[in-house]
């Protein structure tokens, strides 16, 4: 008799031991890592980490939206919001300048689709707008990551993106833009070579996709 292995739901927070294992591996790979209780704690910590007046770009992220971090950065006036400024620019005439602003802010803030217990961050994108900043163009990067995104390895991370994140992002994109999303670009960050540049705020709760 054959038995089938149930599909991992990818929605439940991992136990504390696995969260700590991922944090230790990320730290060994050069990332600064903090484990926080919840999104409210992350919201406060992000304000501590970003100097007032810094230019900041936020990648599209349900984690940032649901936590209030997106509004804190782009609507408070505390920072030089790249997203807010780009909305006032002519996309036809100033597209190259917009992309340079997006790629090279003082700080980029976002999330990722998965964190492996071996210490890698995995991000997926349709446009790639956040990926240049994530990979090194931004002076500093901050990622806020819910505990449900911790997975054992890269193959599980890719399955999480295809089976779980993409369908949910398709729904969000259809509602927001009237068109579906696509898995056009993948970025795997295996290490951070510049000490102090990349900070991962791992939450004990689930939030976002």
pLDDT at position 2: 38
Contact 149, 115 (CB under 8 A): yes
pLDDT tens string 107-146? 999 999 999 999 999 999 999 999 999 999 999 999 999 9
What is the longest distance spanned by two Cα atoms in the chain?
65
pLDDT tens string 84-118? 999 999 988 999 999 999 999 999 999 999 999 99
Strand partners, 150: 115
Structure tokens that stand for 26 in this block:
């990320």
pLDDT at position 8: 55
Half-sphere exposure for 97 (CA within 13 Å, toward CB): 10
pLDDT at position 5: 38
Contact 56, 80 (CB under 8 A): yes
Mean pLDDT of the chain: 94
User: What's the whole-model pTM score?
Assistant: 0.94
pLDDT at position 108: 98
Question: What mean pLDDT do residues 19-35 have?
Answer: 98
Whole-number Å distance between alpha carbons of 56 and 80: 6
Strand partners, 116: 151
pLDDT tens string 147-204? 999 999 999 999 999 999 999 999 988 888 888 899 999 999 999 999 999 999 999 9
Identify the residue whose tokens are 């990926």: 131
pLDDT at position 180: 85
């Amino acid at each position: 008799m054959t038995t089938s292995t149930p599909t991992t739901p990818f929605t439940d927070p991992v136990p504390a031991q696995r969260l700590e294992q991922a944090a230790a591996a990320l730290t060994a790979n050069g990332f600064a890592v903090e484990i926080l209780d919840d999104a409210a704690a992350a919201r406060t910590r992000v304000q501590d980490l970003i100097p007032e007046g810094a230019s900041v770009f936020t990648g599209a992220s349900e984690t940032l939206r649901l936590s209030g971090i997106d509004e804190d950065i782009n609507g408070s006036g505390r920072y030089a919001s790249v997203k807010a400024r780009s909305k006032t620019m002519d996309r036809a005439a100033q597209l190259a300048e917009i992309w340079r602003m997006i790629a090279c802010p003082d700080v980029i803030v976002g999330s990722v689709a998965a964190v492996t217990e071996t210490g890698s961050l995995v991000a997926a994108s349709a446009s790639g707008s956040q990926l240049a900043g994530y990979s090194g163009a931004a002076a500093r990067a901050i990622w806020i990551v819910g505990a449900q995104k911790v997975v054992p390895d890269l193959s599980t991370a890719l399955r999480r993106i295809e089976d779980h994140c993409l369908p949910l992002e398709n729904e969000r994109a259809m509602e927001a833009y009237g068109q579906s999303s696509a898995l056009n670009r993948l970025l795997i960050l295996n290490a951070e070579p510049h000490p102090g540049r990349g900070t991962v705020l791992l939450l004990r709760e689930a939030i976002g996709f």
